[in-house]
Structure 1
């Protein structure tokens, strides 16, 4: 099922058992912020990006290394070298994704990001080292920026796809098929939003973080929160702006977000996550966040 029909999706989702696959990844991959700078093409539709003067390449590199060191305590994490010709490559989950037995290459909107999909070393890693079959969506014309646009409940095989300039309906269909999902809900992001994973996270299949201001239709945000109630964090404007929605569960008991997001997370919402069985881990990423993404955007998952 792939649909815009909210009632039909919710009815289907409530009947689905959490037996689709592992709820969290068994490894992660990163791409170093080598040549970290403002990507002017990406800034056209990413309102979270800072001005060029705010970019600090040395600090970004240090923080990114600290991120790898931190999450390596939870799961094996490899980091590929960056490339000064691809300044957005620090957010690899938009370009490369994995599902059971396969790796997927997405179609990026901007040419500067399309270059990332040609990385032979990353493709060879998934193909020759991880032994995964390839599904290459990068050459077809429909934009589909993988797990930036598509938030996945891996335990249930459910997708939540936010449509914007970074993903159209046909691109969503291609991702739904590539990831082999049981059902995907299509919805429009609010004007000014570019990726669903900035305003929504599903945590190990049993909790959700939702930023209602990021949805064109507030009823969609409310329905998703209700689907994961009582373990649904509904973010206020300050939490939304601080990237609380751009978090990720990397194990059954940890949720990771940036220091900035952790500082904005209200005590009540921190307790809600604790009640769901998660401790909140944070890493300083303010330099990386100048590029318009946060911790979840930096992490590619290997399933």
Structure 2
């Protein structure tokens, strides 16, 4: 079921058992920021992107440290970057996996559409999986940038923006085989749901209500699903990418050092209460490109 009807979604979601699949991935893949620079096309609808000051050397060093840290917890595959695809450091928008499928998204901007054609990533992630290629159809659907998935229960929350249409949301819902997906409009100026919402191993969530066109509705939905572990954040935390976080293991939540510094003490205590340790990695150069740690990490299920 994919719907805009909150009550209908919650009726299914509340009854969904945590048996859809693993809550966290068995591995991750990243793309190095080779040729890191400002992507002018992407900047048109990404208000988080800096106007200047892009430092390719610093971005590569940050990325290498991120890979090193994650490898202490789970297997990581790293693909080289492409200077012709400066946003390639954020691969989760283009490639997503389920237990049996590789899903390839349709990016809004031509500068990002070329990423979907990468034969090396297709070959590596597609081995043993069916390939659901959405990249050539006309509806934008930027995968787990637009669609935040509770993998344990097979639930999705998809925020519509210029990066994801209603038709694109439906295509992603089907491609990932989800039980239920709720479609909501993002607030004007927001480009991806995963900047304003993170579902953490199916048992907690970080939410920036003001990132949605109807903040109270978004807050009520997330609270209904995760109860006291639904952590609402303010605009300052949103700007610092606190909700652009990811649970890479059942006991660790990863975010940038900037995000961790902006994480309210009460929110940190709530995460600890439900069994999460925060892992923080400095990413100031990469964040100039308008995304943070979660955007850099594509999951392998």
What TM-score does the superposition give when structure 1 sets the normalisation length? 0.98
1:1-303 pair list within 5 angstroms: 1-52=1-52, 54-128=53-127, 131-226=128-223, 227-303=225-301
Which residues of structure 1 form unaligned runs of 5+? Answer: none
Give secondary structure in 2 for the equivalent of 1:103.
Answer: strand
Give secondary structure in 2 for the equivalent of 1:140.
Answer: coil
Q: Distance in 1 between matches of 2:150 and 2:221?
A: 11
Runs of 4+ off more than 4 Å:
none
Question: How far did 1:233 drift?
Answer: 1.1
What TM-score does the superposition give when structure 2 sets the normalisation length? 0.99
Q: Is the 8 A contact 1:156 1:205 kept in 2?
A: yes
Q: Is the 8 A contact 1:10 1:223 kept in 2?
A: no
The one-character-per-residue Cα deviations of 1:206-261 (angstroms, maximum 9, x if unpaired) are 00000011000013221233121111110011111100000000001000000000
Q: Is the 8 A contact 2:107 2:135 kept in 1?
A: yes
Report the RMSD for the aligned CA atoms in angstroms: 0.7
Q: Distance in 2 between matches of 1:126 and 1:230?
A: 36
The one-character-per-residue Cα deviations of 1:6-63 (angstroms, maximum 9, x if unpaired) are 11111211111111000000000000000100000000000000013x1110000000
Question: How far did 1:120 drift?
Answer: 0.4
Q: Is the 8 A contact 1:225 1:234 kept in 2?
A: no
Q: Distance in 2 between matches of 1:245 and 1:186?
A: 19
Q: Is the 8 A contact 2:203 2:226 kept in 1?
A: yes
Question: How far did 1:90 drift?
Answer: 0.2
Which residues of structure 2 form unaligned runs of 5+? Answer: none
Q: Distance in 1 between matches of 2:30 and 2:217?
A: 31
Q: Is the 8 A contact 2:6 2:221 kept in 1?
A: no
Q: Distance in 1 between matches of 2:2 and 2:216?
A: 18
Range that drifts further, 105-114 or 3-12: 3-12
Q: Is the 8 A contact 1:30 1:79 kept in 2?
A: yes
Q: Is the 8 A contact 1:212 1:235 kept in 2?
A: yes
